[in-house]
Amino acid sequence: MTALRKIKSAAAAGNYAFVAPGGAEWQRTGPATISRSAPSGMDQVYRPENAEEAAPARFAGPPAASLGVEHVTRRYGPVAAVDDVSLAVAPGEIAALVGHSGSGKSTLLRLIAGLEPLDAGRILIGGREVATPEGGVPPERRGVGMMFQDYALFPHLTVIRNVTFGLRAMRAAEAREVAIRALSRVGLAGRAGDYPHMLSGGEQQRVALARALAPRPGILLMDEPFSNLDRRTRIIVREDTFAVLREAGTTVILVTHDQDDAMRMADRILMMQGGRIVQGGSGQDLCRKPATLQVARFFAEWNEVAGVCRGGMVATPAGDFPAPSLKDGEGAVVCIRPSGIRFGTAGRPGRIVSRHFLGETEMIHLAVPGIDQPLRVVAAPGSGPGVGTAVSFTVAPEDVLVFPAG
Ligand code: ADP
Ligand code: MG
C-alpha cells in the first residue's frame, strides 16, 4: 500500500487525531460540565470565572484550535477545485461549508486535513503553519479529527475497539477508560462490546462521533456526516451531535449540501461556488440577504420572474420593483418569497389554480397573465380565496430580491 493510500484509508476510518501529550479526555465530568462557548455566544453553557477550574491539569487536552486558510488554491488539471479561498475560524466555532456538489467543499476539507497538496496559499492550525505549496505537517500531526461521509466503522471490531483504535498512543487501560467516557457521552457505553452490525445507523454514527472526538482533536472536520441517515434519524442524530460538539468545545468545520444542517448547527455558514467562497455569515444573513442568485436559491424557495431593468426599475406582471444596482437594459431575475404574496382588493390580477393543505401552511398556485409558471403562495391554512377565483394580489417589498439574470 502506498503512503497516500494508507493515509486515505486511515482517514476513512476517522483516525487522524492523535492524543497530545497529557491529553486524555474530551469530556470533563463532575458537578459542572465545562464547555467552551462559541464566539457568537449562541449556546448557553456554564463558564466558570476561575480559569483553573475550567482547565485543571488532569483534564487538560489540547485546546480547541483556530484555523486559518489564506489564499489557498488546489487545481486538478485546468480546474481550480479550490480557488484562492481565505477563511478564519475561531477556536470553538462551528463553521459550515455549504454548496452544491462539485463546488470544492470536500477538496477544501482534504487540504485542511493534509490529504492533498496545495498549489498556492497556506493553512494554519492553532497559529502554526501546517501547509504551503512546498509541503507541510503530516495529517496525523495536525491535531485534526475526521468524520467522513462513509463513517464506516471497522465491522470486525467491537464498538469499544473501534473507539480505542484512534488512541493507540495511550496505554491500553487508559485508552479504554477514555473510550468508555466518549461512548457514555454519546449514550452508548452500554453497547461497548457489540459489533457495528448490531447497531442502528444512528447509533453507528454516534460511535463514529465518539471515535473522532476521543483523541480530543483541536479541529474536527466533518464531511456530509448525516447523509447516510434517513430523514427522521438524521434530525435526532444532528441534534445529539450538536450537543456533543458544543460540550466538547471543539472547533468544527462541517461540510454539508443541506442548508438545514448548516442553519441548525453552525455559528457561521460559508457558501462555496466554483471553488470560491461567495458569501459567509449567519444563516439569517444568507437567507435574508443573499449576495447572489445562487445563494438565494440554495437557502430558500423563490418564485423567479424575468424582467429587464428600465430607469432603475424592473417591471413584471407581478409588480414593478426597484433595481438600483442594475444597468439600463440589463436582464433581471426578480425573486419573490412565496410567503410575501398577499391577496386583497387592489393590486395585480391573477387566478387561483390549486390549493394544497400542508399541515402548518397551505400552498396555493396563482396563475398570473404574462408569467409562464403559476406563482407559489404560502398562506395560513384555510385562509385565502378558493380554487378558480379571480383575485388581486400585491407583493411585500421586503420579500423581493432582484438579481442580474445569470
Ligand atoms: P464537493 O465536495 O463540493 O462536491 P469536490 O471538492 O469533491 O466538491 O470537487 C470539486 C471539483 O474538483 C469538482 O469539479 C471535482 O470533479 C474536482 N475533483 C475533486 N477531486 C478530484 C480529483 N481527485 N481529481 C480530479 N478532479 C477532482
Ligand atoms: Mg464532497
pLDDT of res. 151: 63
Nearby residues of 272 by Cβ (< 8 Å), 6 or more positions away = 85, 97, 98, 99, 103, 104, 105, 108, 278
**Strands, sheet with 135-136, edge to edge from the N-terminal-most edge strand:** 79-89, 67-76, 120-125, 128-132, 135-136
pLDDT greater than 60 at residue 181: yes
Pocket test of ligand 1: the residue of 107, 148, 256 to mutate, having most ligand atoms within 8 Å of its CB, is: 107
User: Which atom in ligand 1 lies closest to the alpha carbon of residue 108?
Assistant: 6
52-66, 86-100, 378-392: range with lowest mean pLDDT: 52-66
Q: Domain spanning 3-288: which CATH class is it, in words?
A: alpha beta
Q: Categorize the per-residue pLDDT at 316 as very low, low, confident or very high, splitting at 50, 70 and 90.
A: very high
Q: Is the CB of 107 under 6 A from ligand 1?
A: yes
pLDDT tens-place string over residues 204-251:
989 999 999 998 899 999 999 888 888 888 888 899 899 989 988 999
The whole-angstrom separation of Cα 227 and Cα 239 is 14
User: Which atom in ligand 1 lies closest to the alpha carbon of residue 109?
Assistant: 6
Could you tell me the distance, in angstroms and rounded to a whole number, from the CA of residue 11 to the centre of ligand 1?
Answer: 17
pLDDT of res. 150: 66
Of the candidates 194, 279, 206, 292, the residue with the CA atom closest to the CA atom of residue 241: 206
Of the candidates 203, 401, 184, the residue with the CA atom closest to the CA atom of residue 302: 401
CB 65 within 8 A of CB 125: yes
In DSSP terms, which residues pair with 119 in a beta bridge?
A: none
| Three-state secondary structure call for residue 110 | helix
Neighbours of ion ligand 2 (CB under 5 A): 106
Question: What is the phi-psi region of residue 45: left when phi exceeds 0, alpha when psi lies from -120 to 50, beta otherwise?
Answer: beta
Q: Is the CB of 180 under 6 A from ligand 1?
A: no
Q: Categorize the per-residue pLDDT at 22 as very low, low, confident or very high, splitting at 50, 70 and 90.
A: very low
Q: Domain spanning 301-404: which CATH class is it, in words?
A: mainly beta
Q: Is the CB of 105 under 6 A from ligand 1?
A: yes
CB 118 within 8 A of CB 133: yes
The ligand placed nearest to the CA atom of residue 75 is 1
- Cβ atoms within 10 Å of 254's Cβ, excluding its own: 27
| Domain ranges (residues) in the chain | 3-288, 301-404
